[in-house]
Amino acid sequence: MGAITEDINTIIAGRLHDLVVHGPDFLTRGEFEVSLGQFVSKYYNFLAVSLMRGRRDRKFWDYHKRKLTEAGAGFSRVRLARATLARLLRAVLNPNETMEKLEKGKSHVNLDDHLPIHDGKRKVVPGQGEITR
């Protein structure tokens, strides 16, 4: 990955763009709406984790606000606050997971968690069958 991609995580924004542009071609309206809702939630989770890790630079936030707006989802400080609170609660309620992440020094979001269609066990690619993990 390039320096800019790693610095501000352009991949998650690119995947949102791909879902918005190509999702309606491969998914029913209902599937698209569900996939978009799930993906935007994961995007806000990524932003919440970034905020909790001290990410404050304007370039990063302006980029992600712009990409959410371009995708039609818009940027909401309230939604970011809710996602941040959810991450904090998860950290408190799952101390083992929190300690494992701290020990590993996990510094990036698992991009597999940001695929548009993801059921936790397998990824489904419309028109191409199932691709298992």
For 122-133, write each residue's pLDDT tens digit.
Answer: 444 444 343 433
Nearest CA to 97 among 132, 49, 42?
49
**Residue 66 to residue 58: CA distance in whole angstroms:** 12
Q: How confident is the model at residue 88 (pLDDT cuts 50, 70, 90)?
A: very high
Residue 67 vs residue 118, higher pLDDT: 67
For 31-75, write each residue's pLDDT tens digit.
Answer: 999 999 999 999 999 999 999 989 889 999 999 999 999 999 999
